[in-house]
Amino acid sequence: RNMIVKIDKYTVLIDDNTMTEIVSLQKGDHKKECGGIILGSITNDYRIIIRGIPKATNDKKSSKCTCIIDKRIAQKVIDDIFRETDGAVIYIGEWHTHPVNAPTFSNQDLQTIKEQFSSNVIYTNFLLMLIIGRKQLELSIYTNNKLTSVSSEIRG
């Protein structure tokens, strides 16, 4: 069930376990947005492997059209996985759900990814943003001050 997405000069592989998580989120209740961080590995030849999308939403502050990432929870997950994998798996972006069939990033999403890129400690020259809808996902890469997106059907 791995998914391969070509975006800009990158090839992004979403591993099997992560696709299972995406399918379960896609089939969720959609009463509130939820979200979290994207963990993964990168290779020298512009290949990115998404290895997990742990949830880190503060549900008390989330609504149908907003999700707030709990930075403490997210940082603990990032630190733990970095330590467990000797730095092989790192923070490479953020994800959230949209309560629509075919999601697209909003102005708020664009603003958020720009802020994350400039304020977070990152080890890449890009950040990914994954938006999970009911039937499709949108994967975006923010690099060189621009956001490039591709949409793909979720096959569950």
64-85 pLDDT, tens digit each: 667 778 889 999 999 999 999 9
Tokens (6 digits) for 16:
């099997």
3-state secondary structure (DSSP) of residue 129: strand
Distance CA 25, CA 123 (A): 28
What is each CA distance from 54 to 46, 50, 62, 101, in whole angstroms? 23, 11, 16, 22
Distance of CA 54 to the CA centre of its chain: 9
Residue 1 CA to residue 152 CA, distance in Å, equals 14
Give how far Cα 85 sits from Cα of 33, 88, 98, 119, 120, Å: 30, 5, 31, 24, 20
pLDDT of residue 68: 77
Helix (H) or strand (E) holding 35: strand 35-42
Residues 55-66 have pLDDT tens digits of 887 766 666 667
d(CA 18, CA 33): 18
pLDDT digits (tens, 9 = 90+) for 94-106: 999 888 899 999 8
pLDDT per residue over 8-46, tens digit each?
A: 899 999 999 999 898 888 776 667 778 899 999 998 889
Average pLDDT over residues 86-97: 93
pLDDT at 152: 93
